[in-house]
Homo-oligomer: A and B are copies of this chain.
Amino acid sequence: MPPGIRDTSQTIQERIAATHVNSLDVDLDSMAAISNIFRVAVMFRNLSERRFLLKHNLTFSGFTVLWVLWVFGKMESYQLAEECGISKGTLTGIVSTLEKHGLIRRIRHPQDGRRKIVMATDRGETLMHRLFPKINRLEQEFVRGLEQTELSSLARMLRIILHSQDTP
Contact = CB atoms under 8 A, between A and B. Distances in A.
Interface in A129-168: 129, 132-133, 136-137, 139-146, 148, 150-155, 157-165
Contact of A146 (B9, B141, B157): B157
Contacts of A83: 8
A81 B46 CA distance: 15
Contact of A86 (B3, B29, B36, B40): B3
Copies in the complex: 2
A71 B3 CA distance: 19
Contacts of A129: 20
Interface stretch (A11-19, A94-102, A108-116): A11-19
B33 A154 contact: yes
Contacts of A139: 27, 30-31, 33-34
Given A151-B29, A164-B142, A159 B7 contact: yes
Contact of A21 (B1, B132, B162): B132
A124 to B, nearest CB: 13
25 contacts: A1-B82, A3-B87, A4-B86, A5-B85, A5-B165, A6-B82, A7-B159, A9-B155, A12-B71, A21-B132, A27-B136, A29-B148, A32-B155, A33-B154, A36-B155, A37-B37, A37-B158, A39-B162, A40-B162, A47-B165, A141-B164, A144-B164, A145-B163, A154-B154, A154-B157
